[in-house]
Amino acid sequence: MMDTAKKIILELKTAGFEAYVVGGAVRDLLLGRVPHDTDVATSALPEEVKRVFERTVDTGIAHGTVLVLLDGEGIEVTTFRTEGAYTDHRRPDEVAFVRTLEEDLKRRDFTINAMAMTETMDIIDPFGGRIDLEDKRIRAVGNSSERFSEDALRMLRAIRFSGQLDFALDDETFAAIKQEASLISSISIERVKAELDKMFLHEQAARSLGYLQEAKLNEHLPNGKMFDVDWTAYEATGNSLYGWAFMLHRGGFDVSALRLYKLSNDEKQQLANTLCAASLETWNAWTYYSIGTEALEMAAKLTDRQVAIPKKKSLLPIAHKQEVAINGKDLMEWTGKKQGPWLKDWISRIERAIVFGELPNDPATIKEWFQVEFSTQDE
């Protein structure tokens, strides 16, 4: 992707414009990491970028961003810009295109994200981002309070970067987070949750969550007191959902505590299953059958259980209800009864008997067992 970005820069320069790799890609390269995304900033206006390249997509034209398609890759190319006031602490009231790189860089959030790189790998660093990388420090560009007042989500981003990079927060930057903490309530819960999800993914997440607590930023989040658990034992798993599970389990909360975070139905079900499994003193065949692997793995980690979950599941007679050798039609045929709540109850009984190894999953055997059990139920 970096080679493609360099080609784009050279094409823009040939056309008479300035262009640079900017932001996180520069930071990651200086840290010796492979960038996940590579963005280019240019003095060319969006329509000028579109004239230079044959294949483009208007991904964010109002904010100066054009996706350039080249060599099978897509690189976002954005015009140098400055931003007006942030009345709602979320987005600029207006965006103005400018022709100088420094004007563009000074609107960015942190010094380590406010560097640019030429196609020959020369670094342009007007705000000391390289020194901050060497010192392992997260520092806002310019006045910290102004940066956070512009977009309050930057406070969570600063805290998230501390764990992602294992960096400390600059004193002035951290003081500004404490001072402006209440502004986080102006940010949509979708953006907040996305940032928290990223926070939970990193090995040093406990560092980030310690900052969150110390700054009292969590007190301005929905049901924020639930973040006040001891995070020192938290170990990231690569699954952000585990962070939510850890917090709920440690704090004694159920999934309803996350109601305002707009989790998907699948996420809520996974968490409910995880907490259910974690609450059980022992796990039996029904536990391994009725709860999915992901939820069981999270529950096992929460409770320090050492168990080979895939092996346990592989030993079960059936993996899911669809594998039961009979169905409701069979039960109605055998009894002459019409459909009703009784069907669900009996299928569940049969299912459990199969899972616990009390009943072979064979139609004839099930029929014989059922007819005996059904005929004696009222005796």
**pLDDT per residue over 129-155, tens digit each?**
999 999 999 999 999 999 999 999 999
Residue 93 has pLDDT above 60, yes or no: no
**pLDDT per residue over 5-19, tens digit each?**
999 999 999 999 999
CB burial string 329-352: b at 16+ within 10 A, e below? ebbeeeeeeeeeebbeebbeebbe
Q: Which of 131, 134, 93, 101 is nearest to 23 (CA)?
A: 101
- 264: tokens are 């998907």
For residue 40, is it left (φ>0), alpha (ψ between -120 and 50) or beta?
beta
**pLDDT per residue over 247-291, tens digit each?**
999 999 999 999 999 999 999 999 999 999 999 999 999 999 999
Pairing of strands 168-169, 137-138: parallel
Residue 87 has pLDDT above 70, yes or no: no
Residue 37 has pLDDT above 90, yes or no: no
**All structural domains of the chain:** 1-128 (3.30.460.10), 136-237 (1.10.3090.10), 322-375 (1.10.246.80)
- 124: tokens are 């342009």
* pLDDT at residue 240 in the model: 97
Q: Which of 84, 82, 78 is nearest to 58 (CA)?
A: 78
Residue matched to tokens 């658990």: 229
C-alpha to C-alpha distance for 287 and 277, rounded to whole angstroms: 7
